[in-house]
């Protein structure tokens, strides 16, 4: 629990809300439908140059030399930069190794670790000149053996990516070079005894491929400096302060010198928490003394941004004949890509957490391979883990002859349940969600044809809180200007403004919400972890309450009564004493300029208490037994959303998240050849679901209010990506008897499982 959060605002939502829970048009929509909304790709500055990055053609190689002179000599080239242009690192500094790794992600200094690893960059007058300049940079490589498969990377004879890497574990460090960046083991109870007690045990190994967030807008950044040394960056990011901090660290600048202006974001899903070209643009612009825009192509976006880990996950679970889970065990091996940091811990945390399991053991391995370093993707690490665990849960239920939802209810976690890793559930709606799924007409509707099947899967995601800043300035006409530091990636300007409007007693039209740049508003963490509507909502409520308190004080001044003699209710300030006096919000706002200072409400929070979200999905499929092609017939998402601040946006999160999960289930995955070249870096062969591939997605919003939020809201965005692969896998099994354990579940895999090919 965090002291910054006003405890008086907590508690379940009261009836009689007027803005929260309504369905207004989102405030960003009107600019987006006419092409007026400004994205980072749309930025154009006078004298702006085109920046382009030279990338490694090799998956693993030592850089012998880089000769940039032929490129520099080309007319129209203004700057060429490499790792040599980054600030020197003092080898005596104890942070030297970490700083070197950090710099190497922007430009490789000694070794390239994946195809697409940046080696140099140019700024030139036109794209054609920039391309020509790149082709003139001479890089000599000593090509090294590469390893892109996670199970090969853990072998003793595997090529080593980082000679200095030693495995990190709870027990300390080992001393031999390895690609295992870290490992952990969590044990609860007595797993052997738990399995001995079981009547049915299912054990399987699941493999999933690296996948990409697939945001439609590639990364792009425009940087410009003035002669004082002030840097301005127009970025596409989930966090303007994250970009600022990244560039400050990379170029060693005072924080106050860097202003990051967040533009509209063309999709992110975790993939825009990190910077890929902001530092490059800044470095080029400084050297060229002109504004520089660096835009990644789709090809570069696939090859050289942070996708999500491919995984190998072994799961073993046991249950008694009466449907009680007695033990669970899992080994998770996650690709980190070129640098340590896969979300294996998060996968381990969520996979068995929907259930009360007395005995268990989870091992996790974070493994570097010659692929791009992974980044977050919507519920990082959780979807493969959910796919694995939930398939085994379904198979147990099937083997026991128990209804899969009843089986889950029998073992469901509830408030106070302890997970295998020792974490304890707070207020959750797990049971409510399962019961709502079971009661939904979809669950019992006839399938209506041959080769059709139905599957369910269930997921837990913990969500996040963290730091957010909001200010609210009262205008004399009774409108307010709300400034937030949270980049809007999902419609949060609307949902944050709604919470402020509710507290201020104003209609939404009177609250203008704007995302501020880093010079304009206080620090705010990235818009990630399903935190923004919840945590920045806390900040907005706090700022609104500050406004009300200051306006109460002003009313007290005007009326000459003590401030505790003023109450604010239903949008009206009233005296509570004998003489009845009242101002509407608009009336009092109009008096502000002549009676004192401007009223600005401030809401800075570091939210430490937030609610988790459970979801249950129901999928119906038809499988063509001759071709293995899966057609989704019907899909329903049931989720505990706490309180839907803006129900339409919540539905959109559930539908969009489920669709990404459907893509992961059936179509998406990075393919590599044996040299570490990605084979499908296009939207032709990296297959996002099209409108033809998903049915209408029904949503059921279950509202189990979270007591720690002013309106009871929970984060909603991430949970819905998790269940689709397991739900669809079960539906395929029920349809044609193929138990597919690898993602994506391609037609070829299904035919192989059926023994047809």
Of the residues 67, 142, 509, 685, which one makes contact with other proteins according to CB under 8 A: 685
Question: 689 CB contacts (<8 Å, ≥6 apart)?
Answer: 659, 662, 663, 666, 667
| Contact mark string toward other proteins, 268..287, x via CB under 8 A | xx------------------
Does position 41 bind other proteins by CB under 8 A?
Answer: yes
Which is nearer to other proteins, 571 or 647 (by Cβ)?
647
Scan residues 654-683 and list those touching other proteins (CB under 8 A): 655-660, 666-667, 671, 679-680, 682-683
Quick one: DSSP state of residue 14?
Answer: P
- The CA distance from 286 to 278, in Å, is 12
Please state the closest distance from residue 594 (CB atom) to other proteins, in A: 39
Does position 742 bind other proteins by CB under 8 A?
Answer: no
Nearest to 222 by CA among 231, 212, 211, 210: 231
Scan residues 587-626 and list those touching other proteins (CB under 8 A): 626
Task: Please count the residues of this chain forming the interface with other proteins, following the rule CB under 8 A.
Answer: 77
Question: Could you tell me the CA-to-CA distances from 555 to 143, 479, 567 in Å, in that order?
Answer: 75, 18, 10
Which is nearer to other proteins, 611 or 724 (by Cβ)?
724
Which is nearer to other proteins, 25 or 229 (by Cβ)?
25
Q: Are 494 and 26 in contact (CB under 8 A)?
A: yes
Does position 691 bind other proteins by CB under 8 A?
Answer: yes
Please state the closest distance from residue 107 (CB atom) to other proteins, in A: 23
Which is nearer to other proteins, 643 or 749 (by Cβ)?
749
Does position 339 bind other proteins by CB under 8 A?
Answer: no
- Which window, 62-70, 436-444, 486-494, 560-568, contacts other proteins (CB under 8 A)? 486-494
Q: Please, how many CA atoms are within 13 Å of residue 311, restricted to the half-sphere of its CB?
A: 38
Scan residues 120-139 and list those touching other proteins (CB under 8 A): 126, 128, 131
Which is nearer to other proteins, 306 or 656 (by Cβ)?
656
- Beta strand 466-474 with 600-607: parallel, antiparallel or unpaired? antiparallel
Judged by DSSP in three states, 393 sits in: helix
Does position 577 bind other proteins by CB under 8 A?
Answer: no
Question: 82 CB contacts (<8 Å, ≥6 apart)?
Answer: 66, 68, 107, 119, 120, 121
Does position 214 bind other proteins by CB under 8 A?
Answer: yes
- Beta strand 49-55 with 118-124: parallel, antiparallel or unpaired? antiparallel
Judged by DSSP in three states, 507 sits in: coil
Strands (E), 193-352: 200-208, 220-225, 231-235, 258-262, 292-295, 311-319, 325-337
Which is nearer to other proteins, 300 or 703 (by Cβ)?
300
- Which window, 303-311, 335-343, 484-492, 556-564, contacts other proteins (CB under 8 A)? 484-492
Scan residues 20-39 and list those touching other proteins (CB under 8 A): 25-26, 28-39
- Which window, 90-98, 432-440, 452-460, 749-757, contacts other proteins (CB under 8 A)? 749-757
Of the residues 4, 72, 652, 675, which one makes contact with other proteins according to CB under 8 A: 652
Does position 415 bind other proteins by CB under 8 A?
Answer: no
- Which window, 93-101, 400-408, 557-565, 651-659, contacts other proteins (CB under 8 A)? 651-659
Please state the closest distance from residue 332 (CB atom) to other proteins, in A: 26
Distance from CA of residue 562 to its chain's centroid? 48
Does position 57 bind other proteins by CB under 8 A?
Answer: no
Nearest to 105 by CA among 324, 347, 277, 240: 277
Which is nearer to other proteins, 195 or 302 (by Cβ)?
302
Question: 15 CB contacts (<8 Å, ≥6 apart)?
Answer: none
Q: Secondary structure of the chain: what % helix, strand, coil (to 5)?
A: 30, 25, 45
Which is nearer to other proteins, 704 or 732 (by Cβ)?
732
Nearest to 480 by CA among 575, 394, 547: 547
Does position 215 bind other proteins by CB under 8 A?
Answer: yes
Which is nearer to other proteins, 126 or 576 (by Cβ)?
126
Judged by DSSP in three states, 113 sits in: coil
Q: Are 240 and 262 in contact (CB under 8 A)?
A: yes
Of the residues 310, 689, 708, 715, which one makes contact with other proteins according to CB under 8 A: 689
Does position 450 bind other proteins by CB under 8 A?
Answer: no
Please state the closest distance from residue 143 (CB atom) to other proteins, in A: 21
Nearest to 752 by CA among 725, 732, 726: 732
- Which window, 146-154, 336-344, 522-530, 688-696, contacts other proteins (CB under 8 A)? 688-696
Does position 320 bind other proteins by CB under 8 A?
Answer: no
- The CA distance from 56 to 170, in Å, is 35
Please state the closest distance from residue 121 (CB atom) to other proteins, in A: 19
Of the residues 1, 44, 142, 155, which one makes contact with other proteins according to CB under 8 A: 44
Does position 694 bind other proteins by CB under 8 A?
Answer: yes
- Number of Cβ within 10 Å of residue 476's Cβ equals 13
Annotate 584-650 with DSSP letters as a single string. Answer: EHHHHHHHHHHHSSPPEEEEEEEE-----EEEEEEEEEEE-TTT--EEEEEEEEEEE-SS-SSHHHH
Does position 491 bind other proteins by CB under 8 A?
Answer: yes
Which is nearer to other proteins, 43 or 61 (by Cβ)?
43
Please state the closest distance from residue 736 (CB atom) to other proteins, in A: 15
Scan residues 621-650 and list those touching other proteins (CB under 8 A): 626-629, 648-649
Question: 466 CB contacts (<8 Å, ≥6 apart)?
Answer: 525, 529, 531, 535, 606, 607
Q: Are 460 and 413 in contact (CB under 8 A)?
A: yes
Strands (E), 107-179: 111-112, 118-124, 138-143, 168-169, 172-173
Of the residues 21, 189, 688, 739, which one makes contact with other proteins according to CB under 8 A: 688
Please state the closest distance from residue 597 (CB atom) to other proteins, in A: 38
Residues in a beta bridge with 203: 316
Please state the closest distance from residue 378 (CB atom) to other proteins, in A: 10
Of the residues 11, 57, 76, 266, which one makes contact with other proteins according to CB under 8 A: 266
Please state the closest distance from residue 720 (CB atom) to other proteins, in A: 9
Q: At residue 426, what are phi and psi to the nearest 5 degrees? A: -90, -145
């Amino acid at each position: 629990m965090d002291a910054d959060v006003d405890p008086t605002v907590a508690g379940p939502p009261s009836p009689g809300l007027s803005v929260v829970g309504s369905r207004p048009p989102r405030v960003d929509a009107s600019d987006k439908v006419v092409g007026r909304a400004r994205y980072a790709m749309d930025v154009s500055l006078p004298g702006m140059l085109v920046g382009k990055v030279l990338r490694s053609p090799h998956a693993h190689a030592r850089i012998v030399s880089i000769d940039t002179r032929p490129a520099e000599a080309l007319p129209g080239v203004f700057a060429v930069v490499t790792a040599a242009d980054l600030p020197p690192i003092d080898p005596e500094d104890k942070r030297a190794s970490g700083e070197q790794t950090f710099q190497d992600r922007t430009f490789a200094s000694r070794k390239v670790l994946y195809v697409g690893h940046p080696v140099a960059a140019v700024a030139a007058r036109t794209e054609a000149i920039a391309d020509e300049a790149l082709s003139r940079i001479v890089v000599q490589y000593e090509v090294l053996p590469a390893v892109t498969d996670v199970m090969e990377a853990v072998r003793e004879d595997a090529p080593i990516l980082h000679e200095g890497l030693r495995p990190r574990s709870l027990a300390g460090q080992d001393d031999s070079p390895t690609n295992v960046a870290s490992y952990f083991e969590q044990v609860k109870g007595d797993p052997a005894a738990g399995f001995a007690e079981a009547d049915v045990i299912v054990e399987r190994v699941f493999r999933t491929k690296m996948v990409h967030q697939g945001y439609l807008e590639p990364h792009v950044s425009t940087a410009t400096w003035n002669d004082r040394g002030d840097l301005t960056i127009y970025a596409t990011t989930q966090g303007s302060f994250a970009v600022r901090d990244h560039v400050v660290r990379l170029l060693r600048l005072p924080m106050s010198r860097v202003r990051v202006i967040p533009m509209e974001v063309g999709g992110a899903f975790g993939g825009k928490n990190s910077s890929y070209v902001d530092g490059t643009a800044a470095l080029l612009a400084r050297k060229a003394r002109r504004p520089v825009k660096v835009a990644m192509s789709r090809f570069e976006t696939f090859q050289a941004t942070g996708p999500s880990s491919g995984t190998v996950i072994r799961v073993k679970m046991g249950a008694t004949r009466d449907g009680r889970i007695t033990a669970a065990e899992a080994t998770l091996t996650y690709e980190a890509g070129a640098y340590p940091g896969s979300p294996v811990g998060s996968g381990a945390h969520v996979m068995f957490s929907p259930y009360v399991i007395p005995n268990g053991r989870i091992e996790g391995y974070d493994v570097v391979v010659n692929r791009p370093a992974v980044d977050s993707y919507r519920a990082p690490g959780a979807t493969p883990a959910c796919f694995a665990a939930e398939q085994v849960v379904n198979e147990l239920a099937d083997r026991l002859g128990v209804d899969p939802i009843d089986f889950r209810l029998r073992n469901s976690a509830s408030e106070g349940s302890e997970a295998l890793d020792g974490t304890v559930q707070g207020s959750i709606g797990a049971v409510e969600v399962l019961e709502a799924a079971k009661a939904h007409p979809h669950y019992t509707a006839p399938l209506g044809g041959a080769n059709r099947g139905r599957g369910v899967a269930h997921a837990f995601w913990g969500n996040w809180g963290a730091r957010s800043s909001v200010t609210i300035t009262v205008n004399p006409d009774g409108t307010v200007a709300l400034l937030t530091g949270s980049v809007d990636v999902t419609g949060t300007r609307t949902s944050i403004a709604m919470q402020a409007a509710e507290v201020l007693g104003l209609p939404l039209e009177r609250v203008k919400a704007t995302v501020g740049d880093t010079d304009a508003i206080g620090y705010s963490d990235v818009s990630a972890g399903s935190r923004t509507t919840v945590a920045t909502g806390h900040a907005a409520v706090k700022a609104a309450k500050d406004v009300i308190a200051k306006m109460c004080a002003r009313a007290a001044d005007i009326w000459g009564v003590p401030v505790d003699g003023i109450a604010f209710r239903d949008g009206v300030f009233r005296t509570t004493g004998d003489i009845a006096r009242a101002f509407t919000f608009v009336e009092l706002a109009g008096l502000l300029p002549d009676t004192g200072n401007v009223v600005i409400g401030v809401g800075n929070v570091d939210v430490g208490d937030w609610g988790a979200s459970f979801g249950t999905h129901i999928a119906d499929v038809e499988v063509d037994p001759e071709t293995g092609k899966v057609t989704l017939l019907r899909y329903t998402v049931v989720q505990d959303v706490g309180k839907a601040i803006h129900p339409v946006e919540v539905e959109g999160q559930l539908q969009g998240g489920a669709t990404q999960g459907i893509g992961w289930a059936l179509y998406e995955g990075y393919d590599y050849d044996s040299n570490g070249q990605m084979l499908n870096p296009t939207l032709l062969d990296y297959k996002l679901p099209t409108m033809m591939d998903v049915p209408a997605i029904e949503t059921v919003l279950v509202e189990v209010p979270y007591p720690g939020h002013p309106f009871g809201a929970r984060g909603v965005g991430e949970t819905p990506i998790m269940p689709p692969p397991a739900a669809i896998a079960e539906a395929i099994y029920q349809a044609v008897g193929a138990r597919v354990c690898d993602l994506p579940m391609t037609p070829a895999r299904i035919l192989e499982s059926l023994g047809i090919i």
